[in-house]
Amino acid sequence: MKQFMNSRESLVTEAIDGLLRTSGGKLARLDGYPHIRVVIRTDWDRAKVALVSGGGSGHEPSHAGFVGQGMLTAAVCGDVFASPSVDAVLAGILAVTGKAGCLLIVKNYTGDRLNFGLAAERARALGRDVEMVIVADDVAIPGAPRPRGLAGTLLVHKVAGHLARAGASLAEVRAAAERAARAVVSIGISLSSCTIPGQPAESRMGPAEVELGLGIHGEPGATLIPLAPVRELAATLAARLETSLPPGAKVALLLNDLGGVPPIEMAIAAQSVLDAMTREVALVFGPERLMTSLDMKGFSVSALPLDEELERALLSEVGPRAWAPGRRPGAVAPLPLPEASSGRSYAASAHPARRAILERIGAACIAAQAELDALDAKIGDGDTGTTLATAARALLRDLDRLPLGDGAALCAAIADRLSTVMGGSSGILLSIFVAAMGARAGEPPQWPAALRAGAVAMQRYGGAQEGDRTLLDALLPAIQALEAGQDLAASAHAAREGAARTAAMTKAHAGRASYVREDALRGVADPGATAVAVILEALART
- Rounded mean pLDDT of 60-73? 97
Percentage with pLDDT > 70 across the chain: 95
The per-type count for the chain, helices as H runs and strands as E runs, is 18, 12
The rounded distance, in Å, linking the Cα atoms of 509 and 529 is 14
522 has a pLDDT exceeding 50 = yes
The rounded distance, in Å, linking the Cα atoms of 268 and 264 is 7
Domain boundaries, the chain: 11-194+207-315, 345-541
Phi then psi for residue 109, to 5 deg, are -120, 145
Phi then psi for residue 486, to 5 deg, are -80, 165
Region of poorest pLDDT, from 68-82, 110-124, 382-396, 485-499: 382-396
The reply to whether CATH 1.25.40.340 applies to domain 345-541 is yes
pTM value is 0.77
Positive or negative CA dihedral for 163, 167, 168, 174? Answer: positive
Report whether the peptide linkage leading into residue 403 is cis, meaning its omega lies within 30 degrees of zero: no
11-194+207-315 and 345-541 share one fold: no
Strand order from edge to edge, sheet including 185-190: 223-226, 209-212, 185-190, 298-305, 251-257, 281-288
**Residue 340 pLDDT:** 60
The rounded distance, in Å, linking the Cα atoms of 291 and 37 is 19
Comparing C-alpha atoms, which of 419, 341, 384 is closest to residue 535? 384
End-to-end CA distance of the chain: 49
191 has a pLDDT exceeding 70 = yes
Local confidence band at 258 (pLDDT 50, 70, 90 cut-offs): very high
The rounded distance, in Å, linking the Cα atoms of 481 and 19 is 63
Q: Are strands 27-29 and 251-257 parallel, antiparallel or unpaired?
A: unpaired
63 is catalytic: no
Phi then psi for residue 213, to 5 deg, are 80, 45
Local confidence band at 508 (pLDDT 50, 70, 90 cut-offs): low
Three-state helix/strand/coil letters over 173-211: HHHHHHHHHHHCEEEEEECCCCCCCCCCCCCCCCCCEEE
Q: Give the tens place of pLDDT for each residue, 364-420.
A: 999 999 998 888 888 777 788 898 899 899 999 989 999 999 888 888 888 888 888
Annotated catalytic residue, options 59, 157, 162, 217: 217
The reply to whether CATH 3.40.50.10440 applies to domain 11-194+207-315 is yes
Region of poorest pLDDT, from 222-226, 258-262, 286-290, 470-474: 470-474
